[in-house]
Amino acid sequence: MDQLLEMASLASSIIWGPFVLIPLLFGVGLFLTVRLRLLQLFRLPHALWLAIVRRKEDDSVEGDISHYQALSTALAATVGVGNIAGAALAIGVGGPGALFWMWVVGFLGMATKYSEALLGVKFRRTDAKGEQSGGPMYYLKYGIPGGLGTTLGVAFAVFGAIAAFGIGNGTQANAVSQQITSITPLEPWMVGLALVVLAGAVILGGIKSIGRVASGLVPIMIVGYVGICLVILAVNWAAILPALQLVVTDAFTGTAATGGFAGAGIMLAIQQGFARGIFSNESGLGTGGIAAASAKTNQPVRQAMVSMTQTFIDTIIVVTMTCLVIITTGVWTDGQADGSLMTSNAVSEGLGAISPALAPAGAVIVAVAVAVFALTTLLGWAYYGERCMVFLGGRRLVLPYRLVFIAVIYVGSVASLDSVWLFSDIANGLMALPNLIGLLLLSPVIVAETRKFFAHPDWRDPDKVMEDVTKV
């Protein structure tokens, strides 16, 4: 087992090292940002209005759920343990500078997520049950001619179906188990059974069930968690500016050893920032295109704008809140190796500064947040995995996949943390590679669709009937 973990660690370091995914993620995100003329910056206000204020669905067009439910499903799948444990782990290993590189991943990732969602809607297909199937496997196969597109599409679907058991299943269940058992007398197997029952009931209901639950839980969990973080930051307001200065300087100089922190170089800060950033917001993995394809819309660009707000909310808001709480309370120097427990200690420290009586509540708050975040992530990734299976073998594979996925929730609850995180990093990397290659090859389509949409005089008004541009 030790030898297997060593091999996995080596594979992860290569995939997420300075010569493979880090330059590819950065390069593709930067390339799309330039080609789209900083769309994620200039169109963000309108995108947030569509996503949060507008939220109206059009029952006259194809799709399974509203664009708000599609966004909620994507947020459910991404705002998870990565925002609590993953972000904390990035700071604990790479130092405060890792947050800067997570910001870079988030900003450039908004252009990537936009592109994935646009292509996901444009190249989606209707399956045998009448549900929409889309995402990288479809836009790779149908958007790139010849054997290359098919090969990339199959590769993504295979890696995506497998990766769902890591990033969207094992890591989530594992973090819940660790957190709950740390504050209660419950055993990991008890937590695992509870998760199996709760998640299984929703997963077996399909995307409409997942969309309804996600749209109800996601706003509550995000607003509640961010609210607690803002209270702690308000108490530690004097430490916010020094913390931000530390984030920027350490991103380019590395972090010296202090307290229980062993110190980190620039490359480690970049590596942790990119790996944990992509784990958190999934920009580049292609999953945003799978969720977007289920939306009731005939406008790929409009849904793409809604989808890119997911990365903004996930990384620029939620991850930032977690990291600033950890840095301003000084917990990151304690040498804590467990991400979720580091966040728990930081929240306890922050609440304790308000009143010592509130300190014990920190562990409970983080435990509840981890449990809810992880549960919704399980739901979103169950859908992603099954769409990959539909692409590979049709609807007949959906129910068996759902049952296996539910069973693995239990396995993740009792597995070791190191092996689960390593598995997730490797699977994510293998999943991202064909998608990023496809985004580069299909960038002319992305740019053409974007320019065509914004050239329309009525693009700002969702009530205006525009030409159906989803047909290819």
Domain tally, the chain: 1
Q: Which helix (H) or strand (E) holds 132?
A: strand 132-133
77 contacts 168 by C-beta, under 8 angstroms: yes
Residue 457, domain member (yes or no): no
**What whole-number percentage of the chain has pLDDT above 70?**
94
Write down the pLDDT at residue 295. Answer: 87
Kind and range of the H or E element at 133?
Answer: strand 132-133
Residue 5 falls within a domain, yes or no?
no
Task: Please report, for the domain that includes residue 418, its CATH number.
Answer: 1.20.1740.10
User: What span, in angstroms and rounded, lies between the C-alpha atoms of 271 and 118?
Assistant: 28
Neighbouring residues of 287: CB distance < 8 A, sequence distance ≥ 6: 74, 77, 78, 116, 135, 160, 380, 381, 384
Res. 409 pLDDT band, cuts 50 70 90: very high
For residue 53, tell me if it sits in a domain: no
User: Residue 55 — pLDDT band, cuts 50, 70, 90?
Assistant: low
Domain presence at residue 468: no
User: What mean pLDDT is reported for the chain?
Assistant: 87
- In our burial notation (b when 16+ CB lie closer than 10 A, e otherwise), range 328-337 reads bbebbbbebe
13 has pLDDT over 70: yes
Which pLDDT belongs to residue 466? 60
pTM of the model: 0.90
Element spanning 126, H or E = strand 125-126
Contact 8, 423 (CB under 8 A): yes
Residue 46 maps to a domain: no
Q: Is the pLDDT of residue 128 over 60?
A: yes
pLDDT at 72: 84
Among 192, 190, 32, residue whose Cα is nearest residue 112: 32
CA distances from residue 174 to 90, 165, 374, 414, 419 in whole angstroms, order as listed? 18, 12, 9, 7, 11
Q: Is the dihedral of CA 30, 254, 167, 157 positive or negative?
A: positive
**44 is a domain residue:** no
pLDDT at 77 over 80: no
In a domain, 352, yes or no: yes
Q: Where are the alpha helices (DSSP H) in 394-416?
A: 398-414
Look up the domain containing 232 and give its range: 12-36+61-450
- Among the ranges given (219-223, 243-247, 415-419, 422-426), the one the predictor scored with the smallest mean pLDDT: 415-419
Helix, strand, or coil here: 18?
Answer: coil
388 occurs within a structural domain? yes
Give me the pLDDT at residue 158, please: 93
Question: Which range, of 161-165, 298-302, 354-358, 427-431, averages the lowest pLDDT?
Answer: 427-431
